[in-house]
């Protein structure tokens, strides 16, 4: 470059550092592609950020906690500063958790931030996943990222479970016992897995240190990798956007990373951290000092797991206690069936994108989001899944529902047993109808305009409401979505009379496609002809 000769004066220090890094890392090419990268704006796009930031908060506070926590089940007698427990026998894990809570300044705050952030992390992932689901953001090219996100949610559940089991308190110990009982129900290998996991019979003295390395090393390590991959794909695919004027499948409209999203997203990290710190300052979570150390022959009433494990608790509580004893062996269906359904509940939502893409046969890229009403079958499926999940949550807290609402626990259990099958179906039907009503409303709005609330009296005495026509931006936004047509079976004989029978797979696909997009599943959107016919008329309201 010619500038090297006439540019004798030194470049600013920042530029020289950047030059140094560019010569070794190639940062200028990276920045060229990404520094002014455009991100679209919508409140629901923040949900994923909540997850990312709470994950970072969990890592930061978790590292601090490892400095003081002793993952050991060695029995000790407590002589610390919390008077009510002095002289009690407990594990070192429980004792060190008491120390963190009562003796280390700020220890309780960090412990509470860690636990609250974990609850928010899981809740954030759940809501973020539903956002992605209901807007169809999982469609090509983002199916792999959907799976990464799903795995993060599942791994997050187990990281949470292994984490809250570490203090070895009476509540979490009960949860671990439940897990051991569930493992024992596995045919043939159950007792072996249990012995290997606990280093012998339950509880033994191994599970806290083992859970510790799973909780702080194995699972977060995998999650960190998935998280980085998830973010790289978000950047690579560029963010989806809602349809609107100037927003097409071929562009992304929004504001640049530098400076707007650096400030907004960077600032949002501090907002999330600040809110969680405030919650941890005023709301106690997991008060292990009130629960006490674990003993396998003691239990407290109202025992509940953290919320994200609640649906599995529901499964185990409402399953009838079936046991089959044959040839000297026991098949513990009452526990094993819930154990099998547990991953299936999660898998049901995870595989949906692949089913939808198979049924539609759609191979195009989709970067424009759907409004949930414009994909009634998908929305109905998602709502049905959520209702299923919540029915199980009710089952998981059946004792609390009974005591708080003065209901019979037997009645609640039976409600959940029946609701497990019935509620999702009802939700599906109701949601699809609501979606179609909303589509009808959009159609009316496009054709007749917005209801202005002004009543006009015509010369002959008739009263009509004045409708304001929509702007072209609004008309475009309300009509930009596609309405897929159901697949048709090809005729059994082609034009030469040669038989070509469709296979079972093809027939199923066509049948499903009719269910997705066939008659009675969507309201035809307004056409240009209909619009013109109505708007050209006179004296029309």
* 12-51 positions binding another protein, by CB under 8 A: 37-38
d(CA 52, CA 65): 20
Q: Which residues contact 96 (CB under 8 A, 6 or more apart)?
A: 68, 69, 70
d(CA 45, CA 128): 8
Query: Whose structure tokens read 């978000």?
Result: 234
Using the rule CB under 8 A, give the single segment among 13-21, 329-337, 433-441, 493-501 that binds another protein. Answer: 329-337
Using the rule CB under 8 A, give the single segment among 157-165, 352-360, 467-475, 509-517 that binds another protein. Answer: 467-475
Contact status: 277 vs another protein (CB under 8 A): yes
d(CA 158, CA 223): 11
Question: What are the structure tokens assigned to 535, written together?
Answer: 């708007």
Using the rule CB under 8 A, give the single segment among 24-32, 280-288, 346-354, 496-504 that binds another protein. Answer: 280-288
d(CA 63, CA 56): 11
Q: How many residues at the interface with another protein, by CB under 8 A?
A: 123
Using the rule CB under 8 A, give the single segment among 266-274, 344-352, 385-393, 421-429 that binds another protein. Answer: 266-274
Within 180-199, the residues that bind another protein by CB under 8 A are 180-182, 184-192, 194-199
Specify the residue, 229 or 434, whose C-beta has the smaller distance to another protein: 229
d(CA 294, CA 64): 24
Specify the residue, 22 or 206, whose C-beta has the smaller distance to another protein: 206
Q: Is 90 helix (H, G, I), strand (E, B) or coil?
A: strand
Within 483-522, the residues that bind another protein by CB under 8 A are none
Minimal distance, residue 321 CB to another protein, in Å = 4
Q: Measured on CA atoms in the order 467, 468, 469, 470, is the torsion positive or negative?
A: negative
Nearest CA-CA partner of 168 in 229, 88, 277: 88
Minimal distance, residue 465 CB to another protein, in Å = 22
d(CA 96, CA 104): 10
Helix (H) or strand (E) holding 474, with range, is: helix 472-479
Contact status: 523 vs another protein (CB under 8 A): no
d(CA 89, CA 76): 6
Q: In the set 34, 251, 483, 506, which binds another protein (CB under 8 A)? A: 251
Within 224-243, the residues that bind another protein by CB under 8 A are 236-238
d(CA 185, CA 213): 26
d(CA 399, CA 308): 17
Burial (CB count <10 Å: 0-12, 13-18, 19+), residue 356: buried
Q: In the set 9, 329, 404, 460, which binds another protein (CB under 8 A)? A: 329
Contact status: 443 vs another protein (CB under 8 A): no
Nearest CA-CA partner of 31 in 346, 257, 370: 257
Specify the residue, 270 or 354, whose C-beta has the smaller distance to another protein: 270
Contact status: 475 vs another protein (CB under 8 A): yes
Q: In the set 319, 350, 394, 510, which binds another protein (CB under 8 A)? A: 319
Q: In the set 10, 24, 32, 105, which binds another protein (CB under 8 A)? A: 105
Contact status: 76 vs another protein (CB under 8 A): no
- Our measurement of the distance from residue 189's CA atom to the centroid of its chain's CA atoms, rounded to an integer in Å, reads 32
Minimal distance, residue 387 CB to another protein, in Å = 22
Question: What are the structure tokens assigned to 240, written together?
Answer: 């989806």
Using the rule CB under 8 A, give the single segment among 13-21, 100-108, 211-219, 378-386 that binds another protein. Answer: 100-108
Minimal distance, residue 117 CB to another protein, in Å = 13
d(CA 78, CA 96): 10
Task: Lay out the site mask for another protein across 404-423 (x = CB under 8 A, - = otherwise).
Answer: -----xx--x----------
Within 330-349, the residues that bind another protein by CB under 8 A are 330-335
Question: What are the structure tokens assigned to 376, written together?
Answer: 């009634």
Specify the residue, 182 or 369, whose C-beta has the smaller distance to another protein: 182
**Would you list the DSSP string of 133-167?**
HHTTTTSTT-HHHHHHHHHHHHHHHHHHHHHHTTT
d(CA 191, CA 207): 16
Q: In the set 64, 102, 289, 358, which binds another protein (CB under 8 A)? A: 102
Minimal distance, residue 46 CB to another protein, in Å = 11
Contact status: 255 vs another protein (CB under 8 A): yes
Contact status: 254 vs another protein (CB under 8 A): yes
Using the rule CB under 8 A, give the single segment among 120-128, 214-222, 256-264, 430-438 that binds another protein. Answer: 256-264
Using the rule CB under 8 A, give the single segment among 60-68, 324-332, 380-388, 486-494 that binds another protein. Answer: 324-332
CA distances from 277 to 216, 220, 226, 400 (A): 22, 22, 26, 28
d(CA 295, CA 303): 14
Within 299-318, the residues that bind another protein by CB under 8 A are 299-303, 316-318
Please tell me the number of Cα atoms within 13 Å of 58 on its side-chain side.
25
Specify the residue, 24 or 250, whose C-beta has the smaller distance to another protein: 250
Minimal distance, residue 208 CB to another protein, in Å = 12
- Our measurement of the distance from residue 64's CA atom to the centroid of its chain's CA atoms, rounded to an integer in Å, reads 27
**Would you list the DSSP string of 488-517?**
-PPPSB-TT--B-PPPHHHHHHHHHHHHHH
Specify the residue, 181 or 486, whose C-beta has the smaller distance to another protein: 181
Q: In the set 23, 267, 287, 520, which binds another protein (CB under 8 A)? A: 267
d(CA 42, CA 29): 29
Q: In the set 19, 75, 482, 490, which binds another protein (CB under 8 A)? A: 75
Q: In the set 322, 354, 421, 493, which binds another protein (CB under 8 A)? A: 322
Contact status: 400 vs another protein (CB under 8 A): no
Minimal distance, residue 512 CB to another protein, in Å = 26
Specify the residue, 321 or 539, whose C-beta has the smaller distance to another protein: 321
């Amino acid at each position: 470059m010619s500038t090297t000769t006439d540019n004798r004066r030194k470049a600013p220090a920042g530029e020289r550092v950047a030059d140094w890094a560019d010569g070794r890392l190639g940062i200028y090419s990276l920045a060229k592609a990404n520094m002014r990268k455009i991100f679209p704006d919508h409140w629901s796009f923040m949900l994923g950020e909540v997850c990312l930031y709470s994950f970072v908060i969990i890592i930061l506070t978790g590292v601090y906690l490892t400095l003081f926590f002793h993952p050991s089940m060695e029995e000790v007698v407590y002589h610390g500063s919390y008077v009510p427990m002095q002289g009690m026998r407990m594990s070192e894990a429980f004792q060190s958790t008491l120390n963190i809570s009562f003796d280390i300044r700020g220890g309780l705050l960090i412990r509470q931030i860690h636990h609250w952030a974990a609850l928010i992390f899981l809740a954030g992932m759940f809501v973020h996943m539903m956002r992605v689901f209901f807007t169809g953001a999982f469609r090509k090219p983002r199916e792999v990222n959907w799976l990464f996100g799903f795995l993060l949610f599942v791994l997050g559940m187990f990281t949470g479970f292994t984490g809250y089991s570490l203090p070895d308190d009476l509540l979490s110990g009960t949860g671990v016992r439940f897990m051991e009982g569930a493992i024992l129900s596995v045919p043939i290998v159950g007792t072996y897995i249990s012995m290997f996991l606990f280093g012998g019979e339950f509880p033994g003295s191994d599970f806290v240190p083992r859970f510790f390395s799973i909780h702080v090393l194995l699972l977060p390590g995998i999650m960190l990798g998935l998280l980085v991959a998830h973010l790289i794909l978000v950047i690579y695919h560029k963010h989806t956007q809602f349809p609107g004027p100037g927003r097409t499948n071929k562009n992304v409209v929004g504001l640049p990373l530098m400076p707007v999203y650096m400030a907004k997203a960077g600032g949002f990290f501090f907002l999330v951290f600040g809110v969680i710190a405030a919650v941890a300052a005023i709301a106690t979570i997991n008060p292990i000092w009130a629960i006490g150390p674990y003993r396998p022959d003691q239990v407290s009433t109202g025992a509940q797991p953290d919320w994200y494990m609640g649906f599995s608790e529901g499964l185990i509580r409402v399953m009838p206690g079936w046991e089959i004893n044959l040839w000297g062996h026991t098949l513990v269906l009452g526990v094993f069936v819930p154990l099998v359904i547990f991953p299936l509940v999660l898998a049901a939502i995870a595989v949906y994108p692949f089913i939808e893409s198979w049924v539609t046969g759609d191979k195009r890229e989709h970067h424009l989001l759907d409004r949930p009403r414009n994909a009634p079958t998908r929305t109905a499926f998602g709502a049905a899944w959520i209702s299923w999940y919540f029915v199980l949550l009710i089952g998981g807290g059946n004792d609390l529902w009974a005591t708080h609402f003065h209901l019979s626990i037997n009645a609640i259990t039976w409600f959940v047993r029946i609701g497990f099958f019935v509620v999702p179906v009802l939700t599906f039907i109701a949601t699809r109808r609501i979606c179609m009503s909303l589509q009808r409303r959009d159609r009316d709005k496009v054709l007749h305009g917005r209801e202005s609330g002004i009543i006009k009296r015509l010369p002959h005495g008739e009263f009509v409401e004045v409708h304001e026509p929509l702007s072209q931006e609004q008309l475009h936004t309300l009509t930009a979505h596609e309405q897929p047509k159901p697949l048709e079976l090809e005729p059994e004989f082609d034009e030469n009379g040669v038989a070509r029978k469709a296979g079972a797979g093809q027939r199923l696909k066509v049948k499903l496609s009719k269910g997705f997009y066939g008659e009675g599943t969507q309201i035809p959107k307004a056409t240009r002809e209909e619009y013109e016919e109505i708007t050209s008329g006179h004296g029309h309201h």
